[in-house]
A = this chain, B = another copy of it.
């Protein structure tokens, strides 16, 4: 900028004024400055600007895995809202590792993002207390924060799972398996809670062997599904705790052939789920809406809202497509 000033034969501040579109510069002076800027290929250094102004016009997003088809639209929605507010989005994946989540969040804070959207991997977010105190707006999505209080946007996981399982019960199933994610993940236990609630409401007993929480790696899920289908009291229907589990379950079921059809309802929608045979019935969240809502809460904070932490719960939607309406195999 100094070079531009020299070349245009004006003061430093005048260049700053032109660059920022501030008033009080003659047309002629402005022309000279712009010419110099073009000639030198000058671009304002936002780092210095941030340092001086205190605002970065950027927000951070910490999520589990950017490549997961559930989080991608969420991220995109946050980006869209941020863009609308003139902010850039910096995002990172925690890979479901609490320590990495912490590192990422703190790195983003050190860059002085104005706000933070976090999909928690860990259960303890007290490490963010100093940041919150320092004024970093923070919103948690998909899972609630641990041991601190902050704006939160969730889907109704328990309610959704309950509806899905009740749907299977309504179609005559009494032995229903649940395969979900690791128990330290909030959504996994919430969905399991919904499963139990539905079973309880129908006064159906639940065998320990019908429930499996753990990593959603295909090998494990595959084994668990096979086990549930073969034991002494095999299940006639499955509730899959998330999209990865659903995909694996569909594979296992299709390998078994259609001789003894097993009903399936999955949490989270899948691309092309409507084209499978049978098409997969799911409890759908609206990831884009989750992201949008979270981002909007965030920017409300940035605009100065000082209301008490809010908790927004978005409904889920049962999409019957066929796999959840199969009757139990006769027995």
Contacts and interface: CB of A to CB of B under 8 A. Distances in A.
A130 interface: yes
B92 A88 contact: yes
A22 interface: no
Interface string A43-57: 111111011000010
Interface string A264-301: 00000011110111000000000010000000000000
A91 B91 contact: yes
Interface string A8-42: 00000000000000000000000000000000010
A75 B66 contact: yes
A199 interface: no
Nearest to A61: B91
A50 B49 CA distance: 12
Contacts of A45: 51, 110, 112
Given A76-B66, A275-B251, A43 B111 contact: no
Interface centre among A67, A91, A129 (most CB of B within 10 A): A67
Interface in A104-122: 106-112
Interface in A59-103: 65-69, 72-73, 75-76, 79, 83, 88-93
B91 A46 contact: no
A47 B41 contact: no
A314 interface: no
A91 B92 contact: no
A203 interface: no
A67 B72 contact: yes
Contacts of A75: 66-67
B72 A111 contact: no
Contacts of A238: none
A247 interface: yes
A182 interface: no
Given A88-B92, A270-B272, A130 B66 contact: no
Contact of A271 (B47, B76, B270, B277): B270
A254 interface: yes
A56 B67 contact: no
Contacts of A137: none
A76 B67 contact: yes
Contacts of A66: 66, 72, 75-76, 79
Contacts of A58: 90, 111
A91 B93 contact: no
A48 B47 CA distance: 7
A143 to B, nearest CB: 20
A98 B69 CA distance: 26
A197 B254 CA distance: 38
Given A46-B112, A47-B51, A88-B90, 8 more contacts: A41-B130, A43-B131, A45-B112, A48-B51, A58-B90, A67-B75, A68-B72, A271-B272
19 contacts: A41-B133, A41-B134, A43-B131, A46-B110, A47-B47, A47-B112, A58-B90, A65-B76, A66-B79, A67-B72, A69-B69, A69-B72, A79-B91, A79-B93, A83-B92, A89-B90, A250-B275, A271-B271, A277-B277
